Chains A and B, each alone.
Chain A
Amino acid sequence: MLKLEGITTFYGTIQALKNISIKVGAGDIVTIIGANGAGKTTLLKTVSGVIQSAGGAVWYQGTNIVHFSAAKIVSMGISQVPEGRQLFSHLTVLDNLHLGAYLYHNRKFKDEIEEKLDWIFTLFPILRKRAKQLAGTMSGGEQQMVAIARALMSRPKLLLLDEPSMGLAPLFVHEIFKVIRRLNDQGTTILLVEQNARAALQIARYGYVLETGTVALEGLSQELLADKKVRQAYLGK
């Protein structure tokens, strides 16, 4: 579904990604783990078109989207949940969700948007109660739910998640990961970037370890969980 070939991206003058190649199959959950500054966020932003890559190709369903605009990429079914949630904090939860559907938000799709909202509220029941609340006034866990829900409103086939567990209480992390698994069961392909390597590898089928802008290691999640180097560097054993 998604294939990165030799992606090289600069962040300012720093070469944040060096010749990265990764693959995500349709219906798969793939994770990218790595320390702070390894280039994980830059990688996702390159895919979603927020940052322009200096070289390489991003193949999505047979098309090279590397030079497409962010808006075009969203409309093709790739949606990113950005790091740190990045909600429209001065707008209500409901407004945030509607803006997720911005690209097809017109009368013709009114029913579809209502259906989507209903589905979101079954996925995150708390958001129905909080619909009229300003997004910026909610707890971190609830905000993360809004961020994921907002991304889902754009009808993604591929969901990019950037550190959804960051700064959350363990209970919320569990909750969020449960939802990610459920989304995947319902057919959404997931590319998950995480510092919480254990949680990420437990949910993913395949994983990549990113170190200073290059893929240091890749393999099935069970293999990575058992790998001595991974255990020492990322699982604290």
Chain B
Amino acid sequence: MDLQSQIVQYLVTGLTLGSIYAMVGLGFTIIYNATGIINLAQGEFVMFGGLIMVFLTATLRIPMFLAFFITLALVTVIGIIYERVFINPLKQTSLITLIIVTVAVSIFFRGIAMFIWGKNPYSLPPFSSGKPIMFAGAAILPQIFWVLGLSLLTVILMNLFFNRTITGKAMSACAGNRLAASLMGINVSKMILLSFALSATLGAIAGASITPIALMEYDRGPLLALKGFCAAVLGGLGLGTGAVVAGFIIGIIESFSAGFISSGFKDAIALIILILVLFIKPSGIFGSEEVGKVKQF
């Protein structure tokens, strides 16, 4: 392979990885914006998305298209149960405690997944059949278009929701000031539930669409959560668009460093960049210092 086709190939891989990180980062942002909580079980939503999709299509033989929507619904229900059982009862608890609860939940979810699916990775046939498309000497799998398309669509819809609808704004009002939110007549508890549901749906979309390319196993969550968290922080915590752009940046850097340096270092490089950026600009690439001042974290 010549250099040009190599670069194109790495770029495509980077965009694919990046779109997953972007979705996980966006998932973090949604829950953070509604509650101030960093949901460290975010990666488990992705894992469930992938494995439930495998279960529905491979074991139950449900058609791909239908299985995709059932997967989204089931993972969303997992998000709802999660919030009602583990988060909602702890009303008078500090944020730090709640974040530690999310770590516990992520371990719990991994346990359940290992119990059901075992430790082996599962694969999934691509959403649409077809040969890889050759472009500038690089082979592009059709599934990559699904991943990119679905994540772009999701990102656009989320952006509209948070910036253009009163429900989206009310959701972020809940994180800003719960007392004031309830004085405006906003049902805070419902908004928090909605944020977990949305976040779980996002995770499921990412998981179900990436599994045909990257396989899925029970303990994929933590690393995905870490990368997604990097994206959320790099983008300026709380900014949806920032998280998405940062997700793509991390994905591309990771792919290029795996290709040109060593695949052993690819995870480290994303984290080194995170540390460097936070040294220089603690509010993230897109975060304004003005907003940073009024944030709790």
Contact = CB atoms under 8 A, between A and B. Distances in A.
Interface of A: 48, 50, 70-71, 74-75, 79-80, 82, 86-91, 95, 98-100, 102-103, 105-106, 134, 136-137, 150-151, 154
B173 A50 contact: no
Nearest to B183: A80
Most buried by B among A87, A91, A99, A151: A99
Contact of B184 (A90, A99, A136): A99
B183 A102 contact: no
When A and B form their complex, which 6 residue pairs have the shortest distance between CB atoms, in order from nearest?
Answer: A74-B185, A136-B294, A71-B185, A86-B180, A88-B176, A103-B185
B166 interface: yes
A78 to B, nearest CB: 10
Contact of A102 (B185, B290, B291, B294): B185
A161 to B, nearest CB: 12
Given A91-B169, A136-B294, A50 B182 contact: yes
26 contacts: A50-B182, A70-B183, A71-B187, A74-B183, A80-B183, A86-B180, A88-B180, A89-B176, A89-B294, A90-B172, A90-B176, A90-B238, A90-B295, A99-B169, A100-B184, A102-B166, A102-B186, A103-B184, A103-B185, A105-B166, A134-B290, A134-B294, A136-B294, A137-B290, A151-B183, A154-B185
A71 B186 contact: yes
Nearest to B173: A88
B88 interface: no
B183 A50 contact: yes
Contact of B170 (A70, A82, A86, A102): A102
B291 A71 contact: no
A82 B180 contact: yes
Nearest to B238: A90
Contacts of B179: 50, 82, 86
B191 to A, nearest CB: 11
B178 to A, nearest CB: 9
Given A87-B177, A90-B295, A137-B290, A95 B184 contact: no
Contacts of A98: 166, 169
A98 B176 CA distance: 15
Contacts of B169: 91, 95, 98-99
B293 interface: yes
B127 to A, nearest CB: 37
Contacts of A80: 183
A71 B172 CA distance: 17
Interface size range of chain B in the complex: 20 to 34
A47 B18 CA distance: 50
B185 A70 contact: yes
Most buried by B among A48, A50, A75, A95: A95
A82 B23 CA distance: 37
A99 B166 contact: yes
Contacts of B177: 86-89
Contacts of A89: 176-177, 294
B184 A91 contact: no
B180 A102 contact: no
Most buried by B among A82, A90, A102, A137: A90
Contacts of B182: 50, 70-71
A91 B172 contact: yes
A98 B185 CA distance: 12
Most buried by A among B172, B176, B181: B176
A82 B180 CA distance: 7
A206 B221 CA distance: 62
Given A71-B187, A102-B166, A105-B166, 5 more contacts: A75-B185, A99-B170, A99-B184, A137-B294, A151-B183
A170 to B, nearest CB: 26
B161 to A, nearest CB: 14
Contacts of B181: 88, 99
Contacts of B170: 99, 102
A105 B294 CA distance: 26
Contacts of A100: 184
A75 B184 CA distance: 9
A82 B176 contact: no
Most buried by B among A50, A70, A134: A70
B185 A48 contact: no
Contacts of A75: 185
A219 B120 CA distance: 78
Contacts of A154: 184-185
Nearest to B190: A71
A82 B183 contact: yes
Contacts of B172: 88, 90-91
Nearest to B180: A86
